[in-house]
Amino acid sequence: MLVSGALAAVLALVPPAFAAPRAPAVPQDKPQVLSGWTQPDAASQGAWAAARENRAAWEPYAFDWSTDYCTTSPDNPFGFPFRTACARHDFGYRNYKAAGEFPAAKPRLDEMFHADLKRVCARYPGARRASCEGTAWTYYQAVKAFE
């Protein structure tokens, strides 16, 4: 019994030859960072855009940055550049789904998307702005109804 106990103690000190490398721990503030980047305000949009440009700095957080932009809808309908708003919307959807918190976050993510689209439309004057806002409303209604 003493020999097997001593053997067990020695073996406990030796790492298994085929042990999988440990995955680095995801920072504990990941939910707060994700929330901060998925709010409807312009500051949140700017922070997300800056992080997206410097994704390497955020690798420890294991965010899903993948996007299909506006899925099967045009990314630039009638010349309105909605592509980045669609990418941020994808970011929110994919990361909240991965966290298992999508149902609670979806209404805010859809509102964030609409706010991003309206900021695009704010660049245009008069009838062009009205056309853009109508298109933005259509995109917003589509994401509210689907997914």
Which CATH architecture fits 28-145? Up-down Bundle (1.20)
- How far apart CA 14 and CA 128 sit, in angstroms, is 70
Domain boundaries, the chain: 28-145
* CA 110/CA 138 separation, integer angstroms: 12
Task: Report pLDDT digits (tens) over 94-121.
Answer: 999 999 999 999 999 999 999 999 999 9
**Is this model's pTM higher than 0.75 or not?**
yes
Query: Active-site residues: which are they?
Result: 89
Tell me the pLDDT tens digit for each residue of 37-96. Answer: 999 999 999 999 999 999 999 999 999 999 999 999 999 999 999 999 999 999 999 999
Q: What is the token pair recorded at 31?
A: 């939910």
